Every structure is written in C-alpha cells, then in structure tokens.
Chain A
C-alpha cells in the first residue's frame, strides 16, 4: 500500500509550483488567442524552392495595406503562413494571392487554406464559449453536490471541484507552454477533462463511504482515505492509462503527419488526463482530510475540549 497521505505536502507543493510557473510563464510570454476569438486573418500557401519571408511581407503589405507577419514552415508541404490583424474582404484576399503568385512565379504558390474572422463575431464566439464553460462547470458542480450529499457532504464536493479547477488550469498551462493559440479545441479539451476527471474523484469518494461503514470507528479518517485511494488505484490507472494510450497514439500520428488541428487537441488532452489522475489521487483525497482535521481541531478548540487525539501527519499505515 502506498502512503499517499504522508506525502501530501510534496504533492501540494508540486501542484502549486506548476501553477505558479505557468502563471508567470503566461504573463511573460502572453496568452495567444486564436483568430477565432480575436478576429483577424490567417492564410496558408504552399510553396516550392526557397522563399524569403521578408520579401513576401513586403508584397502582402503593399497589396492589403495591413500590418502583416509572414512565417514559413518546412515539411511534407512547405507552408507560408500569412497572419493579419484584421479579416480581409474576399476581394483583398484574392488580390493578395494574385500579387504573391505574381511576385514569386518560380515558387509555385498555391492557396492551401484561409481563415478570416470578423473581430466582433470572434469576441461574441469567445463570450459564448466562456458561458459554455461556466454552464458546464455549474451543471457538474450541481451534480457533484447531489452525488456527494451521500458520500462526504459539501466539503468533499468542494475538494473535488478544486481538483477539477486544478485540471482545467493544467490544460490552460499546456496551451500556453506549447504556445498553442486558445481556440475551440481548448474549450473542447477543458470541458472533456472536466467531465472525465470528476469521475475518478467520485469513484474514490464512493469507496471512502463504503470503507467508513466497514471501519468507521476503528480507523482514522486519513487511514480510511488512504486505503480507499489504494483500492481504487488500479482502476484509476488502468482507465486513465487506456485513455492516455489512445491519445498518445493520436498525438504521435498527428505529429508525424502534420495534422496540427489534432495535435493541438491531443497534446493538451494528455496533460489534462495526467493531471486528472494525479489530482484525484494526490490532491482531492488528502485535501479533504486536511480540511476535515482542520474543522475538527477548530471545533474542539471552540468547545474548549482537548486537542484531537492525532494529527494526520503522524499516522503510519
């Protein structure tokens, strides 16, 4: 049996450090919002041979009169990525394409894909997505509240929700760390992780309830929680392991074949899943014990009674 309760301080520290680092990271490097949300244009061309991005920038700036940035990536298909802060009208996009093709006739410029988003529609879509996340969180919290009434009451539910936010934050951290723009994939991954992660927690709290009935007065709470986590461990690891396995396969295949839209989906999903198992085992349970003991201590101080007979740190299992 692994003593999860004894190492709780290490776990809390790890989580806090990761959260702090990713917050600092996102302040320094900024959070990239996809043009889906902030509006703008991104047009990809394929090209052959060699091309100078500064030259392309000059041509595009002349054609559109906009401030533009051009990048190139090389791979199966060499890509020229043109980003503009504003969406282009159909005529200006056509003009731009024609001008680039004319200026670089030997590079075989072909339009691959383009995406133009009106700024106000982008903002509205962003607001809609935020409402979607809020609504999903609310419904999940209501469900958790309903479920935990039987298991460990409001406090257990609250700890489960803290673990959830922990996981959602890790998904966010993954997006900022890999410099993936925040887009509809982000929303989908966050919501999916919210949905999956709470299950593990529910399963463990369910087990705690079962064990409380069996060992109620014979064992300390910390001991019961630790036992329950250990009993559910194989299941948590196997289920998440299968989930991880398939997402890692997806991620590798997407990476090899350059399917960016799936890579930016699968990689954060992997981080979220790992965080999900971790937060369930190492955060949600131990945190609840800390809270329960804190309450018990406070209560006994209030009533002037003796100190609680044990504090969880000392327990040996």
Chain B
C-alpha cells in the first residue's frame, strides 16, 4: 500500500463534497427564461406514482382472446400515443407479450384528472379510432378542421395490416399498408382525386402523419415513405406501422387490475420520509462520532458520499445511467442503507481499536483493521446483493436486465403488477456498491491521511487507551 499524504484527506473530502453538492443541486444555467440543465439534481428525480399520485393499470385483451405479439405491440403504441397526446410524457409502459399484458403507470396530468381516474383508464384502453383524411387542415388545438374533418377516406377497419419495410429501390425504411378490398376501392378513388395533395393519418383526434399522394393507389397495397429531405428512420417507420395497426386492432383492451392514488397523499408521505432520512442520518453521525471519534467522523463523511451516490443513481446525473423512478419503499431502502452502511466502518473501527489496544501504532492499526475487517464486510454485502437482485428481478419490468437474469426461474410468471418494491431493490443494490466505494475505499484513504495530522495522532481518538 502506497503511503498516503496529508493532502489525500482533503482531495477525497473535496471530491465527496463536490459530488454531494452537484448531485443535490444539479448544474444548470438560467439565461432569461430558458434553463439549460447540464447535470440533473435532486429536483429532477422522478418520483413513483405512490408519491406523485397517478394510475397503475394492467391491460389485457378480453378473456379468451389470444393476441399476437404484433397486436400487443400495436396496442402498446396506441397507449403511448394517447399518453403523449394528453401531454403525459413521464409514463412507464411495459408489454409482456407471452402473458399478453401491458402494464402502464402514469402520473396525473392535473388536479381534475385525479378526480376521475376511471375516465383516464378507460380512455387509454379504448379501441383507437384510426382515420385517413383528406388534406391536413388542423385547428389551433390540433384537431381536424374543414375538408379534413368532413372527408374521411378510410378507417381502421379498412386496414388489414401495416408493416415497416425497406424499399428495395431507395433502401429507405417505409411503411407498407395492406388494405381490405373495400378499403382498396375507397383508397383508390381518393388517391386518384388527390394526387399531389396530402392525406393525413389520425389516431383519435391526433394527426400522426400526413404523407402527400404521389400516384393513384388502386391495388390495395400502399406505401408511406418519409420526404426526400427527411426520410424515415427505421424506428419512425416501425412506430407509424404500430400506430396504424393499433387503430386496426380487432379487440379492446380491458382491465381488472388497476389502482389509482390521489396526488395529495403521496407528496406528504415523501416529505415525511425525507425528514426521516435526515433525522436518521444525523443520529447515525452523532452516534458514530461520539463512539468512534476520528473513524466515526470519517464514517459520517463517507455516508455523505453514499447519499450523493443515491441521488446520482436515481436522478440521471451521469448521462450513461438512466434516471430511475424512486418510490416510498425506495426511500426506505436509502434510509436502511444509511443505517446498515456504517457496518463497514463499524467493523474496521472495532478492529482498529483492538489492534491499538494490542499495542500497534496508529498507522499499523488502521492498515490491519481494514485488512482483517474486509472479509466480514465482503460477506455481508454479497448476501445483500443476492437479495437486491432477486427483488429487482421479480418486481421489475419484465424487459429489465434483472428480470431476464431470473427468466430460468420465473418464466411461468408475468410481470409484477405492482412496482414499488423494484425501487427498494435498486436502492439496496446502490447502497452496497457505494458502501464499498465510500465505506471501504474512501474511508481508508481519508483515515490514513487524517491520522498524519499533528493534533490527531493520539491513540484515544481511534479507540485506543488514553
């Protein structure tokens, strides 16, 4: 082990304070009315619907209807489209194609919506009304107007299927439409009349595309491509095809599984939990400093680093770590990790104390303490990692990495219909990781360095005899 200098303490300490401050406040600039967020802070944390209030619903096709994977994905895209149309962007949608389930979680759009959760749920699951309309005239609120309102070319039932394909000539992605014979007749008539003009595609009252008719299409197979200036990406073509299919679904989504939470309750619950977190942190610090003196102070600084770690892990602080929904059990997981997180510091401080009493020097005691304490710390964390992974795998969305990891054991079960515990598993796991980083590595660096300071070289400050 390299000898650490006095400066190490300040470097590590400054780093922890930097992480704590930036993770909490984020980094953003305000220029006039525009705020540019460079690094997300605690204000950007996405709270679960048990805190913000909202709806958690599991949609299925009606009993006895076995939907294909494509139909489920089409239904999913209809739901997403509707959420976006309602200006709800902070939703979570998971589709389980083997069990034919779509789990949707979304917060309330406004106060009025929370008064009528039944309406919100019903609107999402309703059969989508897909229309192809003449022109692309929209009024100020985006609804069809004029000829576009009056002249419907074809509807969802006229579409057999839509798929994203690659054009063999241009190699650009495009959407291929297959129409029923009646649909083909109507579409043929309209496209003959409207060459050079747009035909817009609508889901409910939202325009999702407005391609221009290039030539009359009478054969019942139409293709929609992006403009020459801005061709479709494969993703855009797939999205559009899914949406069109969603409007042509032969079933309506039903639900017997839904819950809603009013917006008022959760926020108070969150605030009280954050208060609990603060009190818990202060009490643990007071205990550690009183009981273990200098190592206790180091443990408190390390805990601050662990705090920052939690915020970083959920807020999307680092661009490559996606933000994570934090629920009430998730906050409880953070509090728990604060309490159990000092374990690493407790184990080593106890060992340091023992070595000091056995007559070792402060440096020797610190080194031996960390060396001898490590196996116990490691063991403790392995079992918690096992538990955290199982929790995340069984309560998380079925598409998550953890769920896939558990597939050999959980394949016969669908996605969990409740999501609050997933967040608990996550904070538990993050707690373990930062326990290693802060409770072991950072603490060791700081303790070795701080023990070089003149006033802090007395063994009693480390638990030795006075």
Produce 1/0 per residue, B375-394, CB < 8 A to A: 11001101110111011011
Q: Is A94 an interface residue (CB 8 A)?
A: yes
A242→B342 contact, CB < 8 A:
yes
- Given A121-B414, A131-B394, A257-B268, 6 extra CB contacts under 8 A: A87-B257, A125-B418, A131-B409, A206-B376, A242-B288, A246-B338
Complex interface residues of chain A between 256 and 275 (CB less than 8 A to chain B): 256-257, 259, 261-262, 265-266, 269
A12-20, A174-182, A231-239: which lies at the interface: A231-239
A94→B258 contact, CB < 8 A:
no
Could you tell me the distance between the alpha carbons of A112 and B418 in the complex, rounded to whole angstroms? Answer: 18
A247→B336 contact, CB < 8 A:
yes
A185-193, A280-288, A309-317: which lies at the interface: A185-193
Q: Is A107 an interface residue (CB 8 A)?
A: no
Q: Is A212 an interface residue (CB 8 A)?
A: no
B387→A192 contact, CB < 8 A:
yes
Could you tell me the distance between the alpha carbons of A3 and B14 in the complex, rounded to whole angstroms? Answer: 47
Produce 1/0 per residue, A124-147, CB < 8 A to B: 110111011001100110010001
Nearest Cβ distance between residue A163 and chain B, in whole angstroms? 13
A188→B256 contact, CB < 8 A:
no
B379→A147 contact, CB < 8 A:
yes
Chain B, residue nearest A35 (CB): B259
B339→A243 contact, CB < 8 A:
yes
B420→A261 contact, CB < 8 A:
yes
Nearest Cβ distance between residue B252 and chain A, in whole angstroms? 12
Q: Is B130 an interface residue (CB 8 A)?
A: no
B428→A238 contact, CB < 8 A:
no
Produce 1/0 per residue, B99-140, CB < 8 A to A: 000000000000000010111011000000000000000000
Would A244 and B260 be within 8 Å (CB), given that A117-B417, A266-B332 are in contact? no
The contact sample of 15 A-B pairs, CB cut-off 8 A, is A90-B118, A90-B255, A94-B119, A111-B262, A114-B259, A140-B386, A185-B329, A191-B387, A195-B383, A239-B342, A239-B346, A242-B288, A246-B283, A250-B273, A269-B336
B115→A245 contact, CB < 8 A:
no
Chain A, residue nearest B327 (CB): A261
Give the total of A residues in contact with B, Cβ under 8 Å: 70
A187→B418 contact, CB < 8 A:
no
A243→B340 contact, CB < 8 A:
yes
B383→A250 contact, CB < 8 A:
no
Produce 1/0 per residue, B222-262, CB < 8 A to A: 00000000000000000000000000000000011111111
Closest 10 CB pairs of A and B: A246-B339, A199-B380, A195-B387, A246-B280, A115-B259, A118-B256, A128-B413, A257-B272, A253-B276, A243-B339
A94→B118 contact, CB < 8 A:
yes
B272→A136 contact, CB < 8 A:
no
B413→A127 contact, CB < 8 A:
yes
A249→B279 contact, CB < 8 A:
yes
Chain A, residue nearest B413 (CB): A128
B390→A136 contact, CB < 8 A:
yes
Q: Name the one of B121, B276, B376, B413 contacting A202, with C-beta atoms under 8 angstroms.
A: B376
A184→B338 contact, CB < 8 A:
no
Complex interface residues of chain A between 85 and 120 (CB less than 8 A to chain B): 87, 89-91, 93-94, 97, 110-118
Would A247 and B258 be within 8 Å (CB), given that A112-B265, A136-B390 are in contact? no
User: Which residues of chain A are near B335, meaning CB under 8 Å?
Assistant: 246-247, 249-250
Chain A, residue nearest B271 (CB): A257
Could you tell me the distance between the alpha carbons of A269 and B122 in the complex, rounded to whole angstroms? Answer: 38
B117→A247 contact, CB < 8 A:
no
